[in-house]
Amino acid sequence: MSALVQRRAWPADLREPGRDLVLELVVDGRVRAGRLVAGALHLLDDDPELPALAALAVEPGAVVVGHRAGRRAVVRRADGTFAKVARRSAARRALARLAAVDALLADAPAAAPARPEVVEADPGVGVVVLAAAEGTPLDEVVARGSAEECRRAGLLLGRALSVLATAGPAPTAGDGAWPSHTLEDEAATTRRWTSAAAAAGVLGPGEAAALAARQERALAALAALPAAERVPAHRDLHEGQVLVRSDGVALLDWDTAALADPAADAANLLAHLDRLAAAPPCGRTTGRRRVVAAAAGLQAGLREGGHPSTTDPAGAARTDVLREVASVRLVAVHAFRRRPWVPG
């Protein structure tokens, strides 16, 4: 039998929850996409939704490093660049978002987050090629660095998010390159994920009911928040998206950048750090201290940079509410990954 390891899993369709899954697997050392349909695993030899992937994957020296069937794939090419393959509409949106972020930060101070450099692009076939980004992933800093290094990483990130949120002239919600992500959108996204996890049966006994109750409390608190002016945000900020450099940070994957609640980015990252603190190797006292140091640095950087979430007297409470909503969603997201498909 081939050596098979599940890396990641997603619901087949968030809009129609069920038991079918999309899987990212490693088969004999090679990343492969698969689908779990009616309990049966189907490995994909090609991906009709991503027709450009086949040619990229067989280039000399190319390695597929990620593949979510029908949605996206990433290929590391022999020259060190990364080819992102997506549906044509998604590739166009990704290019538009990067261009919008570059325009917003064109005259921003040095603390602004660095962005991936587009080497070439062919949105007609759904391909965007990016230069390799320099820096150490935040999760590696937290796993191996000192508490002071973790705090410094958080500080640099907080300063960068402050520049992003306050750069001007501010985009408007009517600009197609800057969609608006509301608190209602945040609630709807969270409900889709928890509903999908319940329908797929990936939550443990009693966990679905407990998560549903926790979600209702979190979403009630979210609905009670007063209105706040939305600001430019990365909108998918977690420890794997942050590269720490000597003089700042780079942020990857701006595909979901939007005008969002001022507390959204910090809250999302803090929710991810909460999970990281509870998991090996950070689940030990020294590891938790490093996570706490990174979170403290982030908050300090936000304050130092005058981030809108810190200038609002209710900003801390607002961040706590959005952090809990993100934490609820992450329980559902990670439930798909912790209950692997077992060949048999």
226 prior amide bond cis, ω within 30? no
Contact 293, 152 (CB under 8 A): no
Helix, strand, coil shares, percent, the chain, to 5: 45, 20, 35
CA–CA separation, 74 vs 31, rounded Å?
10
pLDDT digits (tens), the chain, 344 positions: 467 888 999 999 998 989 999 999 999 999 999 999 988 999 998 999 999 999 999 999 999 999 999 999 999 999 999 999 999 999 999 999 999 999 999 999 999 999 999 999 999 999 999 999 999 999 999 999 999 999 999 999 999 999 999 998 778 765 567 999 999 999 999 999 999 999 999 998 899 999 999 999 999 999 999 999 999 999 999 999 999 999 999 999 999 999 999 999 999 999 999 998 887 666 566 688 999 999 999 999 999 999 999 999 999 999 999 999 999 999 999 999 876 655 43
Domains and CATH numbers, the chain: 4-130 (no CATH), 136-338 (3.90.1200.10)
* Closest C-alpha among 185, 151, 81, 110 to residue 293: 151
Cα separation, 307 vs 316, in Å, equals 12
